[in-house]
């Protein structure tokens, strides 16, 4: 997979399978812990979380809550970017750039995940994660495996 600007491209070998519109961080891209920027460089899918969960289910601490985002009070959703549907947890593969120390993508809990506001996909509004529309995320989740590589470019 390759993520740049507001597009995720899913490749199989040299064949482009599908492009998805995504959202990345409000902040400038950054690999540094605490920056809230989407990390750059070569990553892999470290964990796939949420297989079989219903679309729109909310996750907290990588555990499905059993509640769809629409069931949450508006005040609980407002101004937040909920983690919904599935989680693809990323691990950086470039020591010193996105792996290890203060630049470690995995320890920063950077994911590809769904959100409660599909209408905002395409805008820069996450806190470092890569956001997809819930149906797109589920489709992608079903096609990728742990160890598949993800390239994030500015």
CA dihedral 99, 103, 107, 110 (to 10 degrees): -100
pLDDT at 54: 97
Residue 106 confidence class, pLDDT cut points 50, 70, 90 = very high
The per-residue pLDDT for range 30-46, each reduced to its tens digit, is: 999 999 999 999 999 99
Could you state, in order of their start, the residue ranges of all structural domains in the chain? 2-153
The per-residue pLDDT for range 2-26, each reduced to its tens digit, is: 666 688 888 888 888 889 999 999 9
Residue percentage of the chain with pLDDT more than 70? 97
Contact 64, 58 (CB under 8 A): yes
The per-residue pLDDT for range 44-78, each reduced to its tens digit, is: 999 999 999 999 999 999 999 999 999 988 888 77
CATH class, domain 2-153, is mainly beta
Q: In sequence order, which residues have a C-beta less than 8 Å from that of residue 128 and are 6 or more positions away?
A: 25, 27, 35, 36, 37, 38, 39, 108, 110
Residue 140 confidence class, pLDDT cut points 50, 70, 90 = very high
pTM of the predicted model as reported, rounded to 2 decimal places: 0.93
pLDDT at 2: 62
Q: Dihedral sign for Cα 47, 49, 55, 60, please.
A: negative
Tokens in use for 15? 């064949």
């Amino acid at each position: 997979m390759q993520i740049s600007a507001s597009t995720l491209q899913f490749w199989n070998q040299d064949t482009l399978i599908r492009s998805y519109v995504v959202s990345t961080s409000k902040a400038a891209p950054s690999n540094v812990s605490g920056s809230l920027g989407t990390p750059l460089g070569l990553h892999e899918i470290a964990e796939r979380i949420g297989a079989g969960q219903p679309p729109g289910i909310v996750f907290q601490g990588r555990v499905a809550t059993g509640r769809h985002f629409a069931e949450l009070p508006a005040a609980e959703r407002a101004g937040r970017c909920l983690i919904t549907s599935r989680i693809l947890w990323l691990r950086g593969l470039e020591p010193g750039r996105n792996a290890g120390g203060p630049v470690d993508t995995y320890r920063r809990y950077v994911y590809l995940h769904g959100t409660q506001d599909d209408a905002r996909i395409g805008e820069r509004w996450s806190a470092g994660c890569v956001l997809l529309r819930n149906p797109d995320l589920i489709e992608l989740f079903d096609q990728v495996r742990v160890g598949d590589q993800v390239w994030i470019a500015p």
